[in-house]
Amino acid sequence: MKVYISATLRTFFDKTAQTEIEGKTVGEILKGLTDEYPESKKGLYDDDGKLRSFIRIFVNDEDFTDVSRHKEKLSENSEVLLLPLIAGGKPSDSIISDERQKEISIDEKGIERFNKHLMLREISVKGQKRIKAAKVVVIGAGALGSAAIQYLAAAGVGTIKVIDHDKVELGNLQSQVIHGARDVNRPKVASARDTIRNIDRSIEVIDENQQLTAENAIDLIDGFDLVLDCTDNYKARYLINDACILAGIPLVFASIYQYEGLVSVFNYKGGPCLRCLFPAPPSPGLVPTCTEGGSISPLGGIIGSIQANEALKLIIGIGEHLDGKLLTFDSLNLKSRVVNIDKDCDCPICGLNKTITEIVDFDYEDFCGLKEDETEIPVEGFTADEFAKRLEEEVPMTIIDVREPHERAILRFPGAVVIPIGQLARRQKELNPDIDTVFICKEGKRSILAINTLREAGYEGPLYNLKGGIEGMKDIIFSHEAGLL
C-alpha cells in the first residue's frame, strides 16, 4: 500500500514523504511503518500505546482513525494518508439574509469596480450585494491573513475586522505580503488596515490590536457573519473554534507548514468542528510549528486565497463548501485531495452531550496531558546568561542540539552534538552520565521533550534545558567565540 506522510510527521520517518508498506489492514500498515521506522512510534503513539489524538488516518479519503476500523481489509491499491493537525457540501443558502441583501445598493462606481463579479451568473448583482453586506472577522494578519484579507477587500466585503497583537518584523516580509518594509515595528493590524483602505476606502475596517483570550473571544466576534482562522498556534485555534460554536458563527479554518496546507469549514449548519477532527493538539515540542519549521513564501498566499474563496462562497451562497471535508495541499509534490470529516457525536462542544458550555482559558501543557504531577522530576534549566557563563568558564558539559537541519543551517551552535529526539533513546550511550548534558532547540520546548524522552529510557545522568532556546542566545557573544551567529 502507498502511504503518504504529512511534513509535520516526517522527522519521525527519516524525512520520508511517501513509502510503500506491505499490509491488508490499517493495523498491519501501522505495524509495518513502525517496524521500518522505529522512531515513528514516538510520533504516532502515546505512552499507553494509543494513537495520538491529533493524528488522523485516511484511506482513499475515508477516515479510518478509529481503532475499530484498523482490522478492516482494504482494497488493493488503496492509498493511506497520515495527517496531523497543523489544520463537501452542496450548494446552499447564503449566510447573508435576503433582507440584508436588499438593503444594499451598488452605484455606478461599484458596477465598474466589480464588473468581473457581475458578469458571473452565480454572483451577479444579488451576490455582490451580499458580499457588500457581509461582516467578516479575520484573526491573524500573518501569511494566511495577508492573502485572505486582501482578497476579501478586493471582492468588496463591507466590514472587515482584523485581530492580531503582534508587530511587523523584518522576517515577516518573506510571506506576509500585506505588510511592507515601512511597516516594520508597526502593529500588524495597522498595516492591514492601511492596505484594505488602499484597496477600497468604502470598506469599514475594524482593527483590534489585542491578543485573543477566553475572556474576549466571543465579544470580538459577536455580531459578525463569518470568522477566518488565520492564526499560527494551537491554543488560538481551539479558542476560536469554541467561540464560533458558542456564538453560532461559521468558521473557515486553515493552517500551513513548510510546503503543506489545510483548509476546512467548521460549525456550518450543524456540521463538524475542529474538535471533531482533532480532539486535542499535539504535545508542545512534539510537532514543530510553522515558526519553527518555516514555510515556502507563496504557501500562505495559496491557502489564504482558498480560505477567502470558501468565505465568499458561503457569503454568496454558491458552489460546494468544505463543510464536512478537509482540503490538503502539498505544494512541493503538487498533490491535493479532499477527505471527509465525520461529526463526532461525543464532541465535548458540538456533540450530543456537551461538556463545554463556555470558553475557558487553558494551560497548553495541561490541555495536552503533559502537566507534571508531584511525583515527576521537574526539568531543570539554565537561562541564556547562566549558560553563557558556564561556556566562558569552560565548565565540562555535553551540548545536544535537537533542532531540524534547516534550523541549524540558519543558526549554528559551536561544539554541539546533533541528535534528533527520535534517536535519543538508542543513542544514550554516547552521553557521559558523569557530566551535565544541556539540550538546546529553537525556543526551549522541544528540549524539554528530549529530556523527558531520555528519562523514560532510563538515563540517569544530569540533564538540563536551555531556557528560551537559541532565540534567547542570539544577542550574546562569548569571549571564547567570535559569536554565536
Question: What's the half-sphere exposure (Cβ side, CA atoms, 13 Å) at 29?
Answer: 30
pLDDT at residue 219 in the model: 95
pLDDT at residue number 470: 82
- What CATH number does the domain located at 2-82 have? 3.10.20.30
| Cα gap 99→346, rounded to integer Å | 37
CATH 3.20.20.70 fits 134-366, yes or no: no
pLDDT at residue 202, as a whole number? 95
pLDDT of residue 66: 87
CA angle 48, 52, 53 (to 5 degrees): 125
Question: pLDDT digits over 85-123, tens only?
Answer: 653 333 458 999 999 999 999 988 999 999 999 989 899
Strands across the sheet with 463-466, in order? 381-382, 463-466, 436-440, 397-401, 417-418
pLDDT at 356: 85
Tally of CB atoms within 10 A around 397: 18
230 is catalytic: no
The grid coordinates of residue 184 equal 516594520
Q: Looking at residue 18, what is its pLDDT?
A: 83
Query: DSSP character for 167?
Result: B
Tens of pLDDT along the chain (485 residues) come to 888 888 777 778 877 878 888 888 999 989 888 888 888 888 888 878 888 877 888 888 788 888 889 999 988 888 888 887 653 333 458 999 999 999 999 988 999 999 999 989 899 999 999 999 999 999 999 999 999 999 999 999 999 999 999 999 998 999 999 999 999 999 999 999 999 999 999 999 999 999 999 899 999 999 999 999 999 888 889 999 999 999 999 999 999 988 999 999 999 988 999 999 888 766 555 555 545 557 899 999 999 999 999 999 999 999 989 999 999 999 999 999 999 898 988 898 998 888 888 887 765 444 444 344 444 467 889 998 899 899 888 899 999 998 877 677 777 788 899 988 878 888 988 999 999 999 998 888 788 888 888 888 889 899 999 988 887 776 654 333 333 33
Distance set, CA 61 to CA 2, 85, 223, 314, 393 (Å): 13, 16, 36, 24, 57
The whole-angstrom separation of Cα 277 and Cα 435 is 45
Domain ranges of the chain: 2-82, 134-366, 381-473
Do 364 and 371 form a contact (C-beta atoms < 8 A)?
A: no
Match 508542545 to its residue by C-alpha cell. 284
pLDDT digits (tens, 9 = 90+) for 327-357: 999 999 999 999 989 898 889 899 888 888 8
- Which residue is it, cell 465598474? 112
Residue 197's alpha-carbon distances to 176, 183, 203, 318, in angstroms, are 17, 15, 7, 27
Q: What is the pLDDT of residue 479?
A: 34
pLDDT for the residue numbered 321: 92
For residue 8, give the nearest of 255, 254, 324 by alpha carbon: 255
| 244 catalytic residue (yes or no) | no
Class of domain 381-473: alpha beta
CB 333 within 8 A of CB 262: no
Same fold flag, 134-366 and 381-473: no
Order across the sheet with 135-139: list the strands: 204-208, 159-163, 135-139, 226-229, 251-257, 260-266, 325-330, 335-340
230, 273, 276, 290: which one is catalytic? Answer: 290
3-state secondary structure of 172: helix
